[in-house]
Chains A and B, each alone.
Chain A
Amino acid sequence: MAYLPEGTPLPAADLDDSPYWEGCRRRELRIQRCADCGRFRHPPSPVCPACRSFGAEFVEVPGTGTVFTYTVAHHPVHPALKAAVPYNIAVVLLDGAGDVRLVSNVVDARPGEMAVGMRVRLRWEPTSDGSYLPRFEKA
């Protein structure tokens, strides 16, 4: 069972981030990197904010990381989440991707187990539309 219930809004790819979501479909965490200066950036965008190059590639990263900060949501603002509370939301600083951070969930951490600085690793979760979402588990 997915960490958050069906009915939670799903991602819709746009021009810039479709290679990222295509990677997810194949269970590969691919982060955009400038083809000229090598700087990672996320969410994907058409130009490098460091060197203004249009050249970019999507590079697979190890999928490990550190919880930078987190919250435990107790109130389901969105109705689809009513059965899911309390659930955690974490900002994960990825290994091997500069200062790129992903918003995600740590699926096997109980509310009291969450901590800033905890090590996590990728766990792919299937979505109702046949793709996968990058979530994390305790490392």
Chain B
Amino acid sequence: MPDLERLKRLRNRTAIVGVGASRQGTFPDLDPYTLAIEAFRSALDDCGLVRGDIDGLIVQGPGGVSFVRMGEMLGLNPVAGATFDIGGFATGPLIQYAALLLDSGICRNVALLYGNASRTEGRRFGGETTVTPGREYSSAFYYYGLTSPGAASAFQARLHFETYGTTSRQLAAVPVAQRRHAALNPQAIKKDSPLTVEKHQRSRFICEPLRLYDYCLINDGGVALIMTTAERAKDRRKRPVYLMGLGRHDTYRHSSLPNYLLWRETMPMAAEMAFGMAGIGRDDVDALMIYDSFSINIWFALENFGFCKPGEAGAFTQDGRIELGGEIPVNTHGGHLAESYMQGWLHQVEAVRQLRGECGARQVRGAEIVQYICRGNVASTLIYRN
């Protein structure tokens, strides 16, 4: 059990002061390091710091992007560097780690760099390139044709549909909403590809009951964030976005099996921790950024974080409730389904831009609090305020 009273001391003590993104798309001539460094330069420019100010270096990316190699390339010799080899689950925990490095005084300015060249490298999350027998037991299920994360999400979707009577047609509301948001985001890869419920329903199954549009994109790109302490944040170029609350909860039970439960044993605990630390309720949240490798992840986040009751996400996500202008806009940038697959890192950039009021046509009016949620057996969340 987290010591909430102690944790509350961390409320608003650190902030994101700089964000940057590289081009997002397919870049056969660029590797993950180059893409991350492109984003890093833009994040430094965003906050007015220079490379020499950075004394913490956190690096992440599929395929083992190394903080040591990154530091070597950049000529950076920080106090501390780190990565966290758990794929997309890492984003929240790494930002939390950066906050601890800063609040403890170990570091003054932490750069978080993310590089992903999955499109160009041909990584298909379940194709031949990810067969690593022995490393994770789940790879032993390949001989039953369980070769991709999508199949495991399909297990979960089937369970939700059967348990609560929800449907693929209801689920379509998620990608439809996010495509609408992407249309307002110049950076979104699918900004010119609108989607309707009918088009979703006509699209082919990948792993039934999940269809093509329930799946995230796979593309190349880089993202960078610069974090510092609340005191130092005031001197930066733009309005700081403070880390108001954080939550995390893990379970390792059945971790060797593909996901087949609905993450009811991790996400609600992470939610209580973050809301408790931040001292706010769900009604105070103006927008949600939810890790969306698959559309069904949005339902699990809404249910397990208490935005609706378990089993009700199908009905809850209808009638524009999760769209801009709705009750609780979700993934106003388009998310992994429609903007770009940067494993949660562009979700942070969008949270910051919303709280700075930089989002133009997709701006959530009067946004003061934005929350990030990542599902899984390593569940995490971040609550930001301006």
List chain A positions with a Cβ less than 8 A from chain B: 4, 8-12, 14, 43, 49, 68-75, 77-79, 81, 84, 86-87, 89, 91, 101, 103-105, 111, 116, 133, 135
Q: In B175-216, which residues have CB < 8 Å from any A CB?
A: 204-210
- Which B residues are closer than 8 A to A by beta carbons? 124-128, 131, 133-134, 137, 139-148, 150-151, 154-156, 158-159, 162, 204-210, 253-254, 256-258, 260
A43 touching B145 by the CB < 8 A rule? no
Q: Are B260 and A101 in contact, CB atoms less than 8 angstroms apart?
A: yes
In-complex Cβ contact of A84 among B145, B146, B156, B204 (8 A): B145
Q: Is the CB of B143 within 8 A of A133?
A: yes
What are some 15 contacts across the A-B interface (CB < 8 A)?
A: A11-B143, A14-B134, A69-B159, A71-B154, A71-B155, A74-B208, A77-B127, A78-B126, A78-B142, A79-B128, A86-B208, A103-B258, A105-B144, A111-B208, A133-B144
Assess whether A77 is in contact with B208, with CB atoms less than 8 Å apart.
Answer: no
Tell me which of A49, A69, A71, A133 has the highest count of chain B C-beta atoms within 10 A of its own C-beta. Answer: A71
With a cutoff of 8 Å between Cβ atoms, the chain A residues found around residue B141 in the complex are 103
Structural contact, B144 and A4, CB atoms closer than 8 A: yes
State how many angstroms separate the Cβ of A2 from the closest Cβ of chain B. Answer: 10
B257 with A91: CB separation less than 8 A: yes
| Given A72-B207, A75-B207, A77-B124, residue A103 in contact with residue B144 (CB < 8 A) | yes
Docked CA distance A136–B213 (Å): 31
Tell me if A11 and B140 are in contact (CB < 8 A): yes
The 9 closest A-B pairs by CB, nearest first: A71-B154, A77-B126, A72-B208, A9-B142, A74-B205, A78-B147, A75-B206, A116-B162, A77-B148
Q: Is the pair A49, B158 in contact by a Cβ cutoff of 8 Å?
A: no
Checking B133, B139, B143, B207 against A73 with a beta-carbon cut-off of 8 angstroms, the contacting residue is B207
> For residue B143, which residues in chain A have a CB less than 8 angstroms away from its CB?
4, 8-11, 133
A104 to B145, CA, bound (A): 9
* B156 pairs with A69, CB closer than 8 A: yes
How far is the CB of A42 from the nearest CB of chain B, in Å?
8
- Min distance, Cβ A40 to any Cβ of chain B, angstroms: 13
Cα–Cα distance between A48 and B372 once the two chains are bound (Å): 36
Residues of B within 8 Å of A69, CB to CB, are 155-156, 158-159, 162, 260
Contact of A8 among B140, B145, B159, B254 (CB under 8 A): B145
